[in-house]
């Protein structure tokens, strides 16, 4: 059997067994935090993949995912009533309400989208902002004790994702794009690149990137998640983010630079080296533990992401080809300011994108010049769905949240990571409910890291 399998090759028994074991872990976490309803709600948020798979197991389609969203928003509402509201969040709430009203109005009245689909999308963004308000109020009331609880439950959930990927390896004896722990169901794998980066940001604010063997094992676990989903970009982005965070927290003077530059370079190269050898598509032999060939990996990555070979044998990015080509497409649309029509300003709606026929996956005409569906990055997807106005309002709301980080250096590192995922990848950090909530928790922890107990250190 190949070391990578698609969900079509997974049996019903394997699907059920994986989810039964995940449910068992979550029941343990619910029991562990039985005296903390706030923590239990966060645990439930990380169960989206379980509900997605239950829909597959019982042939209920997306119904179980809708039930999941309703359960979470109801629970968040009761927590909101318990802990109250911080008026300092008025600007965030105002920007979010404007965006949601705009999104709902154009989706229902302009694009005539299915109401159930629109409500589901609205909940996907309402749940994280509701939890942001709840977490803020919770920390005002419980301060240090609340921060410890918040950090510990997130630590347990991150470790659980690593455990789930270990279970996945035992059951499948292969990698598979879906099942990014419990974050996605069997058909969702985009988080395999974004989630390890978000985990590294969480580790950084807790440890300031101080080296311990425990932290090294955690980072290997983060990369294991990417490996088990067959992702390639994580092997390039993780070492880069690691080097940036190490430099930010540990290099402030020339002597510090000279002291840390060598071990920093060695660790970054170690992650990069193992990444190219462990990822079958990034080495010439196309197998796990193939040869280390950075030039081959570079050419493959550029060609896959939107490159085409010229007559001279060089690879250049072509508009509409792959993810880089999609970004070029978006940029060219953006700079032609006098060519905007209704489609560019308000998008084409949710149904057009979300309910696209599989037969159109490689239909560039359907995606307005982008060669295939997988090449549509997060920013381009939102541009297609809600247009330039919707994209602007969404980013305005999110920047209000991310600018709550007081440390300018870490703030820009986090913004850069999130925008990389949104612009050049599939936007899972700003799209997946659990990852959005995790991002907001990382933001809160970063504001308190001088005083918070570090459970992972």
Taking only the tens place, the pLDDT of each residue in 223-245 is: 999 989 888 888 889 989 998 99
**Cβ-based neighbours of 107, under 8 Å, separated by 6 or more:** 113, 118, 121, 349, 350, 386
In percent, how much of the chain has pLDDT > 70?
Answer: 93
111-125, 164-178, 302-316, 335-349, range with the lowest pLDDT: 302-316
User: What's the whole-model pTM score?
Assistant: 0.91
In the chain, % helix, strand, coil (3-state, to 5) comes to: 70, 0, 25
Q: Are 186 and 170 in contact (CB under 8 A)?
A: no
The SS3 assignment for 36 reads: coil
Q: What is the mean pLDDT of the chain?
A: 88
Tell me whether strands 175-176 and 4-5 are parallel, antiparallel or unpaired: parallel
Q: What is the mean pLDDT of residues 101-116?
A: 95
Q: What is the mean pLDDT of residues 444-456?
A: 60
Determine the Cα angle at 176 with ends 197 and 72, to 5°: 60
Residue 145 or residue 160, greater confidence: 160
Distance CA 245, CA 456 (A): 17
Q: Are 420 and 237 in contact (CB under 8 A)?
A: yes
229 phi, psi to nearest 5 deg: -105, 5
- For residue 4, the cross-strand partners are 175
pLDDT band at 338 (very low <50, low <70, confident <90, very high): low
Distance CA 299, CA 291 (A): 15
Distance CA 456, CA 453 (A): 9
């Amino acid at each position: 059997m190949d070391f990578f399998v698609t969900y079509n090759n997974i049996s019903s028994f394997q699907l059920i067994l994986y989810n039964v074991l995940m449910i068992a872990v979550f029941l343990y976490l619910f029991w562990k935090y039985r005296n903390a309803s706030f923590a239990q709600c966060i645990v439930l948020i990380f169960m989206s993949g379980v509900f997605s798979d239950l829909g597959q197991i019982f042939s209920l389609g997306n119904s179980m995912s809708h039930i999941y969203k309703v359960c979470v928003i109801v629970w968040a509402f009761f927590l909101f009533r318990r802990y109250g509201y911080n008026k300092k969040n008025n600007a965030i709430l105002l920007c979010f309400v404007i965006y949601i009203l705009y999104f709902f109005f154009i989706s229902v009245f302009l694009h005539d989208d299915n109401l159930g689909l629109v409500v589901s999308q609205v909940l996907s963004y309402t749940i994280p902002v509701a939890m942001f308000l709840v977490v803020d109020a919770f920390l005002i009331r419980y301060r240090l004790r609340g921060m410890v609880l918040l950090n510990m439950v997130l630590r347990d959930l991150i470790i659980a994702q690593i455990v789930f990927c270990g279970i996945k390896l035992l059951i499948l004896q292969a990698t598979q794009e879906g099942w990014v722990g419990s974050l996605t169901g069997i058909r969702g794998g985009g988080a395999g690149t974004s989630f390890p980066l978000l985990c590294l940001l969480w580790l950084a604010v807790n440890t300031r990137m101080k080296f311990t063997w425990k932290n090294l094992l955690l980072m290997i676990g983060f990369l294991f998640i990417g490996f088990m989903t067959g992702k390639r970009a994580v092997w390039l982005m993780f070492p880069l983010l690691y080097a940036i965070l190490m430099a930010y927290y540990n290099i402030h003077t020339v002597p510090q630079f000279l002291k840390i530059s060598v071990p920093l370079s060695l660790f970054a190269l170690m992650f990069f080296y193992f990444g190219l050898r462990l990822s079958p598509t990034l080495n010439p032999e196309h197998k796990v533990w193939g040869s280390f060939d950075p030039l081959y990996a570079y050419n493959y990555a550029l060609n896959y992401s939107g490159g085409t070979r010229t007559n001279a044998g060089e690879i250049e990015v072509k508009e509409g080809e792959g993810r880089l080509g999609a970004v070029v497409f978006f940029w060219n649309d953006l700079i032609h300011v006098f060519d905007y029509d209704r489609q560019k300003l308000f998008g084409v709606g949710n149904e057009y994108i979300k309910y696209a026929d599989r037969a159109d996956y490689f239909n560039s005409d359907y995606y307005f010049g982008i060669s295939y569906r997988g090449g549509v990055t997060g920013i381009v997807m939102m541009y297609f769905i809600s247009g330039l106005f919707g994209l602007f309002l969404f980013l305005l709301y999110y920047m209000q949240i991310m600018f709550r980080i007081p440390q300018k250096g870490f703030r820009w590192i986090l913004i850069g990571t999130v925008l990389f995922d949104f612009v050049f990848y599939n936007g899972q950090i700003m799209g997946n409910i659990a990852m959005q909530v995790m991002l907001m928790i990382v933001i809160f922890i970063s504001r308190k890291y001088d005083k918070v107990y570090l459970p992972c250190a």
